Amino acid sequence: MASSKTVLVSGATGHQGGAVARELLAHGYRVRAMTRKPQSDSARSLGKLGAEVVQGDMDDEASIARVLTGAWGAFSVQNAQEAGVEKEEIQGKRFAKVAREAGVQHFVYTSVGSAHRKTGIPHFESKWRIEETVRSLGFPSHAVLRPVFFMDNFIMPWSKPGIDSGKLMMGIKPQTVLQMIAVEDIGKYGRWVFDNPQELNGRAFDIAGDARTMPDTARIIGEAAGKPVEFVPVPIEEVRKASTDFAVMLEWFDRVGYNADIPGNSKESGIPPTTVSQWAGRAAWS
pLDDT 10s per residue in the chain (286 long)?
566 799 999 999 999 999 999 999 999 999 999 999 999 999 999 999 999 999 999 999 999 999 999 999 999 999 877 878 899 999 999 999 999 999 999 999 999 999 999 999 999 999 999 999 999 999 999 999 999 999 999 999 999 999 999 999 999 999 999 999 999 999 999 999 999 999 999 999 999 999 999 999 999 999 999 999 999 999 999 999 999 999 999 999 999 999 999 999 999 999 999 999 999 999 999 8
Rounded to whole angstroms, the Cα distance separating 216 from 211 reads 10
- Positive or negative, the CA dihedral 89, 91, 94, 98 is negative
Is the domain covering 2-147+183-207+259-268 a CATH 1.20.1440.20 domain? Answer: no
- Domain residue spans of the chain: 2-147+183-207+259-268
